[in-house]
Amino acid sequence: MTVRADGVRLLAGAAVADITPPAGGSLAGYAARVSASTAVHDPLLATAVAVSDGATTSVVICADLIALDPDTTRRIARDVHERTGIPAERVAVAVTHTHAGPAVTRGGIGGVADPRYVEDACARIAGAGVAALAALEPAVLRRGCGTVHGVATNRRGGTLVDPAVPVVRLERENGEPIATVFSHACHPVTLGPDNLQLTADWPGYARRHLESGIGGVILFLQGCCGQLNTGHTALDSLRATEPQPGRTFEAAQRIGVQVGQAALEAATEPVLGPVSVAATPVELPLGDPLTPGELRALADEPGGIWTGWARAQLADTGPASVEVQVAVHRWGGVPLVFLPGEPFVEFAVELRAALGDPGLLVAGYTGGVPGYLPYPETHYAEGGYEICEAHRAYGPRAAFTPEAGRLVMAAARRLAAELGVEAE
């Protein structure tokens, strides 16, 4: 049995729950898409992995959904706590950000959430975490990082993308797989607004490719892909309802296989060390709301995309900030950084450099997704969809201020230092 120098063994468990809704419900992901889903192309899953050293336990759950409100992720974590005793702050709740799943948030992001489905899905997501904990068994952890090029493009211009495919493998001592956790940064928007079938998009194909190649439970974590997608503009997704070249299931499969193969081929090495978790709430400030006159103009715009948002704002502009969670989990000495919202790619690039870890797994879309999280603040002067319009899809009165990104980065650096994750 592989143990740490202090004699404590590593334990791991994994589980999967089906959270696919029936066809006919509201889809989320595109403001221009108003039709309900017509079929299920592939299942939507909630995947959970638990890792423990006997003293501290970490639980990571990721669901094939576009987003979850921050208070919904807290509720799921509390549910796991109430059913297992694991502290809620040690439960990371993430989403893959597929744009071909059901509406589940207050903002809707192009759809209207069914509260009955949301309640059921949250129970199943928490249930996956509970099942992973129940499945804990002695394990060996291996870590690696693959590379894939040509998948993501930077829709705000420039060439900055994130080709890394961080991989963590958890195996039984005889080498049999328990779970593989992998990540890549690219919006799952291969299927456009014309698609009315429920699908996990390319991450689903990537998971299935890895499952067929390795076995065990496969958990995908979305990277910092705020401005990264598969090669089209934000305007294409906002207003185009006709089929667009290249936005097909065949393309989603091709991309998923590329990413999955990079994870499959990543060389890994065993890593020993303790399990530890550090998490903190962060209050993200929102900008000033539009004036009543500006809101009325949007609300009265014939066929306007943001009329519903503007009318809601006229009734109540809402709070001036949003509370989210930033967390760092350390599995056997391997750090995983969890950021909220839709973080820009610079978060991952800067954190890897600052912590001296080029294969660091930095996941976004965790602990709540209330909107885009631009970073660094120079993006604000450039404007664009993520700065000026995207918050309306989520519901808040304005985009986050430039301070928000700095607060999240500072929190992540502080938590990493608290766990001893630092550059050598």
Better-scored residue on pLDDT, 108 or 12: 12
Q: pLDDT for 257-270, tens place per residue?
A: 999 999 999 999 99
Residue 286 lies in a domain: no
Note the pTM of the prediction, 2 decimals.
0.96
Query: Considering the chain, what percentage of its residues have pLDDT values greater than 90?
Result: 88
Domain count, the chain: 1
Query: Is there a contact between 177 and 216 (Cβ–Cβ < 8 Å)?
Result: yes
Give domain status of residue 19, yes or no: yes
- What's the pLDDT score for residue 66? 96
In a domain, 104, yes or no: yes
Which tens digits make up the pLDDT trace of 34-75? 889 999 999 999 999 999 999 999 999 999 999 999 999 999
Task: Tell me which residue range forms the domain holding 60.
Answer: 11-279+322-418
Query: What's the pLDDT at 2?
Result: 47
Please indicate, yes or no, if residue 153 is contained in any of the structural domains. Answer: yes
**Residue 78 contacts residue 88 (beta carbons within 8 Å):** yes
d(CA 351, CA 345): 10
Domain contains 299: no
Residue 328 in any domain: the answer is: yes
Tell me if 375 is assigned to some domain. yes
How high is the pLDDT of residue 295? 97
Whether 288 is covered by a domain: the verdict is: no
State residue 232's pLDDT score. Answer: 84
pLDDT, tens digit, for every residue of 189-221? 999 999 999 999 999 999 999 999 999 999 999
The per-residue pLDDT of the chain, averaged, comes to 94
Query: Using an 8 Å Cβ cutoff, are 367 and 70 in contact?
Result: yes
Mean pLDDT of the region 333-347: 97
